[in-house]
Amino acid sequence: MKKLLPIIGASLFLGATACTDDDDVSTDTDGTEDAAGEEEASDSVDGGNMIFAMPSDAVTLDPQASTDLPSNIIADNVYESLLYYDENTEIQPRLAESYEQLDEHTWEFNLEENVTFHDGEPFNAYAVVATFDRLLDPEMASPRALLFELVEDVEAVGEYTVEITTSDPYAPLPAHMAHVSAGILSPAAIEADAEGEQSLDTNPVGTGPFEFESWEQGNEVVLNNNTDYWGDPANLDSLTFSVVPEQGTRIGMLENGEAHFVQQVEPANIPQVEAIDGAHLVSEEGFGFDYIGFNTENEPFDDPQVRRALSMALDKEVIVEGLYEGYGTVADGPLPDMTFGSSDNVDPLPYDPEQAQELLGEAGYGDGFSATLMTNDANPMRLQIAELVQDELSQLGVDVSIEQMEWGAYLDAVTEGEAGDMYILGWSAQTGDADFALQPNFHSDNIGPPGNHTRYENEEVDELLVEASQEMDEEARLQLYEEVEQILIDEAPMIYTLHTDYVVGISDSVEGFVQQPSGLFILENVTISEEAEGTGY
């Protein structure tokens, strides 16, 4: 795998990936990549506006409703959870001063004091209870409720102490408490949202180092420095997330000093970014995986043998080495190596077009069939993958027609099972834990918005996933996930194409930037140095 800069030990910047067109649901991504790194500051100054050139807009600014990476990137800078992932992807206290597991079913969180929300409301245990009451309310129907499905009670046992009780042991709870969907909401904002006075979809109110200023949908989101922040204040005056669908335009903004950060640099454009005086590239692995999903409710994709055949007909090496020019690794299954729960002991489906043809014949489709393949627009890499699939499946007699849609409409269609027979998407497992990679995508309870867009159902997989989430012994838990992943490889509800590297372009003037493998950014310590040579800053 190619690396543009070393990511370990020294300063670095990280990029974003393909769960956004965005490819979340931390996260569905639109094809935007991410990684983790940090830049050491020198000759820097406080203040300034950091401009991000992003390929896709947010869908919602409500962290309990979002399932896409662009939305989560915004929310993660406005809201804070009780726990968070630091620059080394280690779980640390955030709004919780400390936490401990009291017994198999009970966790206690001691909260920070003297914290206020952006609207002036005090942060305390009652705000935590109000947040989780809303998140777990069936009427809210949050696609993120699945992360806390074993939570029975969230109780304020003191003004700054919260106890969370689960129905069964729940191993991934700390990881899930660090997820952006667990960001604590202002109780006043929750009430205003419920009464229809001001929607959290478009007016987020948290405790984070940046506060919401404006959202011109389809154009930009602006966040301002929270001057009353309870912790160490951010250095920047503001953040602007500009929606720029065209790759060439984004790169031009970096070159001309109109943007500090370009998300999702396609391999074909890497030489162009490398040639910019005053900017550089960063590449690093992330938690995500890209895939071609089958609608398993449609014939013939309800037949695992047909799905296996199509999986074996696609040369993933061509995708990784040809289309991505080595910036990624072939995916044997849904879990990348750096995710807890991955295993080297699973047997992937081989690339074998001849056997694929035999399997189709045995399934009764030796003469082929017609199918649709959908993807989102403003994502040239996904279109190229679609064209490769179209070409390679034609060798089996499968006639594939390609359709493209705008990202928001596309995500809605995929979620509702209306994206045809096949679709291209990605997932960023923002917790780094197999539970969040597998439960949303493959448990039958999560068909629809939570993430199971293939509409796959397997009772054994459901049972194993629940058992793994309740298993507190790490080795036993790893074994359970190995069993699940092997079933998912054999049943092939999707073609696991690749684990993409996050490749981004960033100005040399930006220091202190950290991008995590989840696709999210740590921006509190970012500074913009004095005018960098060769740029317009």
Running DSSP on this structure, what letter comes out for residue 452? B
Let me know how long the chain is: 537
Which tokens hold the place of 412? Answer: 């809605």
Q: Which domains does the chain have, with CATH numbers?
A: 36-78+203-284+503-529 (3.40.190.10), 83-192 (3.90.76.10), 288-500 (3.10.105.10)
Average pLDDT in the 487-516 region? 92
Would you state the pLDDT for residue 339?
85
Of the chain, the percentage scoring pLDDT greater than 90 comes to 72
Tokens of 37: 């790194």
Residue 513 identity (one-letter amino acid): F
Mean pLDDT for 295-310 is 98
pLDDT score of 73 more than 60: yes
Among 164, 148, 149, CA closest to 104: 164
Neighbour count for residue 5 (Cβ, 10 Å): 15
Q: Confidence band (pLDDT; 50, 70, 90) for 272? A: very high
Please check the confidence at residue 115 and state whether its pLDDT lies above 90.
Answer: yes
Tell me: the pLDDT tens digits for 404-461? 999 889 999 999 999 999 999 998 877 888 998 999 999 999 899 878 999 999 999 9
pLDDT, one tens digit per residue, over 8-56 is 222 222 233 334 443 433 355 554 333 334 444 445 557 899 999 999 9
**Cis? peptide before 233, omega within 30° of 0:** no
- Degrees to nearest 5, angle at CA 222 with 220 and 228: 170
Residue-wise DSSP of 89-134 = S-EEESSEEEEEEEETTEEEEEEPSS-B-TTSPBPSHHHHHHHHHH
Task: Give mean pLDDT, residues 129-133.
Answer: 98
Q: What's residue 29's pLDDT?
A: 52
Check residue 20 and give its pLDDT.
40
What pLDDT is recorded for position 39?
46
Helix (H) or strand (E) holding 153: strand 151-158
Q: What is the pLDDT of residue 45?
A: 59
Q: Are 249 and 259 in contact (CB under 8 A)?
A: no
> Which DSSP string do the residues of 427-445 spell out, in sequence order?
EE-TTSBHHHHHHHHH-GG
Taking the model in full, what pTM does it have? 0.77
pLDDT on residue 189: 98
pLDDT band at 331 (very low <50, low <70, confident <90, very high): very high
Q: Which residues contact 149 (CB under 8 A, 6 or more apart)?
A: none
Q: Are strands 161-166 and 106-111 parallel, antiparallel or unpaired?
A: antiparallel
pLDDT over threshold 70, residue 467: yes
- The residue with greater pLDDT, 219 or 38, is 219
CB 230 within 8 A of CB 114: yes
- Which percentage of the chain shows pLDDT scores above 70? 90
Residue 268 CB neighbour total at 10 angstroms? 13
Residue 6 has pLDDT above 80, yes or no: no
Task: Give the model's pLDDT for residue 284.
Answer: 75
Residue pair 426/451 in contact (Cβ under 8 Å)? The answer is: no
Joined together, the tokens standing for residue 180 give: 């952006």
Task: Give the count of beta carbons closer than 10 Å to the beta carbon of residue 361.
Answer: 13
**Average per-residue pLDDT in the chain?**
89
pLDDT, average across residues 329-352 = 92
Strands (E), 192-263: 210-216, 220-225, 238-243, 261-262
Question: Above 70 in pLDDT, residue 393?
Answer: yes
Strand 261-262 to 49-54 pairing: parallel
Report helix angle 304-312 to 474-491, nearest 10.
90
Task: Please answer whether residues 243 and 220 qualify as being in contact, where contact means their C-beta atoms are separated by less than 8 angstroms.
Answer: yes
Which tokens sit at 361? 């014949």
